Structure 1
Amino acid sequence: MLVDDRVGAVGGIDTALRILSAGFKGAGYNVEFFSFFKAPENPSFEIARKVPYIFREQVYNLQYSHKILWTSSAKLKKIVKKAWRLYADLRMLLYILPRRKGHIFVFTNFASAEAAVSSIKLIRRLGGDSLFIHQMHMAFDSEYIQSLLPSVEKRLLDVFDEILMLTRQDAESASKYFGQEIGFIENPILQSENVQSIVAEKRGATISCITRFTYQKRLELAISAFDAIAHDFPQWTLNIYGEGADRDKLATLIESSKNKHQILLNGPVDSKTAMQIWEKTDLNLMSSRFEGLPMTILEAASCATPTVATPCSPGLNQFVEGAGFLADNDTQVALEEALKQAMTSPELREAKARQGLSKIAENSVEKIVEKWEKIFHTISVERNR
């Protein structure tokens, strides 16, 4: 049972789940998807059941979006919040309860994992033997995860059978923090079938960003850095694909840019289209504030497209240092310099692309599924002692 808040929504976790589910099926598992919200349809997924849910932080927004509640007393607001949470917890329990035996739940989203805590505790008391695993898809040292510590993540540690990270560096940081060993499993990736012929053919002038338009992704930095040097590289274009709350702000920024004719703001794309874009793109550009081990750099690397990025997580930093162009720091000037280095030399881009292909060989679906199966086996053995 693969769990996320929006199974089927276009994004990195969607891609990872799609690839991982195919790997599990190939290994003989029955795979279902548990989504909290009704997500955009994605033909790559067969969503077993959609469970409407309101997370804790969204209860507040729910209350104040209704005029009657907004004008109500603090006591009434508190009652409504508790009542809605109880209702939501009941729906969660009714979904998990029939699956309390013989299932493996893999939660890939923190909010989803946190929302299941009460139900998992009850299932434990009822003698359920299903496994519950939470994999953090964000760098442990990121501002997002650090804002949740210490109480929330420690509570998950007490309830879930296993907490996993995406990279060795994050696992080491988490182990030190929690005072116990925390493991890690990387995201799986499929290599483009035509990759060997693609490597030598990449002599174009296209930079792409495929991402969400949110605070985390900080696309304004990518746009400003490219615009600052675009006049020296008139043949190059920056193509941005995605959707999100910052779309209007980004559109306004592009419109005011000196070289706006070289910057294109496009809509979101699905995983299949993303791979087609990476096959024809010369560089991937990332300017995030924080990340884990982003699928976008693995997907790009699988199509011989090196990444230019700001240093925003241990996993990303390690990968891009050897197989891409890592800015010295997260300033615009540093990102401009990294872009210049990448855009100036097609030979260096090809060398970085080949290093990327070598690195992602360790992220093959078969190897990643083997790692998951070892985790499943270890948990089961420890339970039966």
Structure 2
Amino acid sequence: MKKLLIILHDLSAGGAEKMMARLAGALVDAGNDVTLLMLTGGGVNAAHLDPRVKKVELRSTRSSRAVPALARFLRANRFDAQLAALTHVNVVAIAAAVLSGTLSRLHVSERNAFSHDKHVNPDFMVRVAYLVAPLLYRLIPNPVICVSRGVAQDLVDSTIARRQDVTIADNPVLDNDFREKNPGLPSHRWLQEKSSAVIVAVGRLAPQKGFDTLITAFAALSDRSVRLIIFGEGALRNRLLNQARTMGVADRVDLPGYTHDPLAEVAAADCFVLSSRFEGSPNALVEALSTGTPVVATRCPHGPQDILIGGLVAPLVAVDDPVALTHAIALQLSTPRDLQRHSRLDAAARFMNASAVQTYLTAMLGSPSS
């Protein structure tokens, strides 16, 4: 049994936070003693954390001020391996590991396309972290764990990081028995009592997710009975609702907010759409595949091309191309639902907990059984 630590900002509704919570549970399943530490604390995903995972909250007012407290914790609690996630947390973890003498055991991870993600958060300290991180990645003893080949290549191409400074581990998105599990019941009224086809998308209401393009593509569908539900919270809510009103589809578009069971909603839908402008390894796409529901995705950097095997599993369209997106959605809605269902399930299987956790154990400990 190895003693492992995961370091996060908090357990908010983001994809990285959800995956780290899942990874913590999967590492426990693999026979390890796991602690998940939050620099601040709280978040909706805290409720889903495996009770066997030890939870620590430093309650710092912001991540950058957590270095002294984290250094004290690392010095007092020796772990076989430490894993940090997200760029600004990585920088804090590196500083604390240096102060505590545990740098050799620290592993950091990048969850998104670095060249795109560095422009998203305007916070000054986060911007500083993105400037400093590539230099630190050259200096730390262990390679940066990236969630896809595309994220790893982007980090090498867009920063001073070298090929030997990166490695890859898959996200633990799905339960090992996902094929045998029946989905829960959807909460949305359009999915509970379907009178027409329903398209579903899931993600933060942010420019990265391309929901403006999705609404434009949706408005161009010839079938005026089709409905669109976008589950998620974010700053663009009013803008997207105004766009739907302007395009005359407000009565067929709904933004109901965060959903606690996206699999249930997607499983009941007729098509899932990933309209992102960039990703790391889109967990929502994997979850959608696991339900067997037909999907459409943009060929965004990075992840969808790898997950969908270059378009063999499901259609891939260019980023910000609403015409192509309309055609792809219409094609999926007019195709028998079960066509290529097994291909979608097989593509999702790579991201089962048991498979993905071994890639992390290899990256952190040298071999899955170390």
TM-score, with length taken from structure 2: 0.80
What letter corresponds to residue 333 of structure 2 in structure 1?
Answer: M
> Structure 1 residues 233, 313: closer, same or farther in 2, change over 3 A?
same
Cα offset for 1:290? 1.0
Unpaired runs of 5+ residues, structure 2, are 120-126, 184-193
- Which is richer in helix? 1
Cα offset for 1:53? 4.0
Tell me whether 1:256 sits opposite 2:264 in the alignment. Answer: no
Cα offset for 1:50? 4.1
What letter corresponds to residue 282 of structure 2 in structure 1?
Answer: P
1:192-236 Cα shifts (integer Å, max 9, x gaps): 53469xxxxx9972211111111221311111211122xx22332
Tell me whether 1:94 sits opposite 2:72 in the alignment. Answer: yes
Task: Kindly tell me the number of residue pairs found equivalent between the two proteins.
Answer: 336
> Structure 1 residues 214, 175: closer, same or farther in 2, change over 3 A?
closer
Cα offset for 1:160? 5.5
Tell me whether 1:209 sits opposite 2:201 in the alignment. Answer: yes
- What is the distance in 2 between the residues matched to 1:268 and 1:371? 30
Equivalence for 1:3:
7
Instruction: Report if the CA contact (8 A) 1:135-1:163 is conserved.
Output: yes
Match of 1:186 among 157, 166, 170: 170
Cα offset for 1:243? 0.7
RMSD after superposition: 3.1
Equivalence for 1:108:
85
1:331-367 Cα shifts (integer Å, max 9, x gaps): 222222222222222x2x5334321211122222112
Cα offset for 1:3? 2.1
Cα offset for 1:25? 0.9
Aligned partner of residue 145 in structure 2, secondary structure? strand
> Structure 1 residues 222, 129: closer, same or farther in 2, change over 3 A?
closer
Tell me whether 1:328 sits opposite 2:318 in the alignment. Answer: yes
- What is the distance in 1 between the residues matched to 2:318 and 2:240? 25
Unpaired runs of 5+ residues, structure 1, are 56-84, 197-201, 381-385
Equivalence for 1:15:
18
Cα offset for 1:295? 0.7
> Structure 1 residues 153, 374: closer, same or farther in 2, change over 3 A?
same
- What is the distance in 2 between the residues matched to 1:160 and 1:338? 45
Cα offset for 1:88? 4.1
TM-score, with length taken from structure 1: 0.77
> Structure 1 residues 269, 193: closer, same or farther in 2, change over 3 A?
same
> Structure 1 residues 123, 94: closer, same or farther in 2, change over 3 A?
closer
Equivalence for 1:218:
210
- What is the distance in 2 between the residues matched to 1:217 and 1:137? 15
Equivalence for 2:48:
44
Tell me whether 1:344 sits opposite 2:334 in the alignment. Answer: yes
Match of 1:156 among 137, 140, 146: 137
- What is the distance in 2 between the residues matched to 1:285 and 1:28? 37
Instruction: Report if the CA contact (8 A) 1:293-1:313 is conserved.
Output: no
> Structure 1 residues 244, 333: closer, same or farther in 2, change over 3 A?
same
Aligned partner of residue 135 in structure 1, secondary structure? strand
- What is the distance in 1 between the residues matched to 2:84 and 2:268? 33
Instruction: Report if the CA contact (8 A) 1:213-1:246 is conserved.
Output: yes
The runs of at least 4 aligned residues of structure 1 exceeding 4 Å deviation read 145-151, 172-177
Cα offset for 1:291? 0.4
1:86-126 Cα shifts (integer Å, max 9, x gaps): x5432332333323x224221121111112222111222xx
Larger Rg: 1
Instruction: Report if the CA contact (8 A) 2:202-2:230 is conserved.
Output: yes
What letter corresponds to residue 270 of structure 2 in structure 1?
Answer: D
- What is the distance in 2 between the residues matched to 1:155 and 1:326? 35
